[in-house]
């Protein structure tokens, strides 16, 4: 057992390492001067500039819409997939389904993005749909890779679930569909919620895949931020970062309070 100073020192360093960038983002979002590295005084003007920027606002709304849709689609498809993989014994295509649903977890984003774009282009030339890429194609792409995460989370929860609960419901006269909605769903609801939130976050955060499959006029927030960053450091990005971090911290705090109250 490592006693003494070694562990606490390394751990402190580790947390400093994790949070130093975040702290610097927040601090310099209130910087008077444009230089993100030298303190020129306290100011909230960058927040004002941020909200006055239509490009950022539109991209933000688009990203939120896309994230909400993708997370919901991924939740439904991923849950169906998890149910099929944990509760059904053998069926044609079971190995295929299992492999396809976990592959996006290990495939690099660039390949996922490229392949979907090429698909959309080919589909467009064959069927005429999707006509030009945009919100819909991004939603499809995000749903596909988020589905993998939902399946992993829900599958793990389902395999922990006591089968005798579902058997008891069947014994009392409920057909399997009824059993799922009456018994299984309410009990695994927390897992469903957390996988929805996970998908939402992943979709909101995605840059690479969205860059491939988006079209003109449908830039997501990460894409807008990325093009801004490539031009150089910009304090309104800091402001945006601070807002996002604030929302996330608030969300996590609320979740922690709810959890402890339940206990």
**CA distance linking residue 120 with residue 131, whole number of Å:** 9
**CA distance linking residue 114 with residue 232, whole number of Å:** 27
**Residue 64 interacting with other proteins (CB under 8 A):** no
**Residue 126 interacting with other proteins (CB under 8 A):** no
Give how far the C-alpha of residue 85 lies from the chain's centroid of Cα atoms, to the nearest Å.
23
**Residue 5 interacting with other proteins (CB under 8 A):** no
Choose, by CB under 8 A, the member of 42, 164, 258, 261 that binds other proteins: 164
Choose, by CB under 8 A, the member of 57, 64, 68, 97 that binds other proteins: 97
**Residue 59 interacting with other proteins (CB under 8 A):** no
**Residue 77 interacting with other proteins (CB under 8 A):** yes
Choose, by CB under 8 A, the member of 57, 65, 201, 215 that binds other proteins: 201
**Residue 249 interacting with other proteins (CB under 8 A):** yes
Report the nearest approach of other proteins to the CB of residue 66 (Å).
Answer: 15
**Residue 183 interacting with other proteins (CB under 8 A):** yes
Interactions with other proteins, residue window 217-246 (CB under 8 A): 222, 225-226, 229-230, 233, 237-238, 240-241, 244-245
Say how many Å lie between the first and final Cα of the chain, rounded: 32
Choose, by CB under 8 A, the member of 5, 41, 88, 127 that binds other proteins: 88
136: Cα within 13 Å, side-chain hemisphere: 6
**CA distance linking residue 186 with residue 193, whole number of Å:** 11
């Amino acid at each position: 057992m490592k006693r003494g100073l070694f562990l606490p020192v390394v751990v402190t360093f580790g947390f400093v390492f994790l949070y130093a960038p975040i702290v610097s983002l927040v601090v310099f979002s209130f910087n008077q001067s444009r230089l993100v590295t030298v303190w020129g005084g306290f100011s909230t003007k960058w927040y004002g500039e941020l909200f006055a920027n239509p490009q950022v606002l539109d991209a933000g709304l688009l990203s939120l819409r896309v994230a909400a849709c993708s997370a919901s689609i991924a939740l439904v498809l991923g849950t169906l997939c998890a149910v099929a993989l944990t509760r059904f014994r053998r069926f044609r295509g079971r190995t295929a389904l299992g492999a396809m649903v976990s592959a996006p977890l290990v495939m690099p984003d660039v390949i996922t993005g490229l392949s979907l774009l090429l698909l959309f282009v080919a589909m467009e030339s064959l069927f005429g749909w999707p006509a030009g890429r945009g919100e819909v194609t991004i939603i499809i792409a995000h749903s596909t890779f988020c589905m993998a995460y939902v399946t992993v989370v829900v599958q793990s929860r389902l395999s922990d679930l006591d089968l005798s609960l579902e058997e008891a419901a069947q014994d009392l006269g409920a057909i399997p569909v009824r059993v799922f909605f009456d018994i299984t769903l309410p009990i695994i609801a927390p897992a469903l919620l957390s996988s929805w939130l996970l998908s939402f976050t992943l979709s909101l955060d995605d840059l690479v895949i969205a860059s491939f499959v988006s079209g003109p006029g449908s830039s997501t927030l990460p894409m807008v931020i990325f093009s801004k960053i490539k031009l150089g450091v910009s304090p309104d990005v800091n402001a945006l970062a601070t807002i996002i971090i604030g929302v996330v911290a608030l969300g996590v705090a609320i979740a922690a309070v709810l959890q402890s109250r339940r206990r």
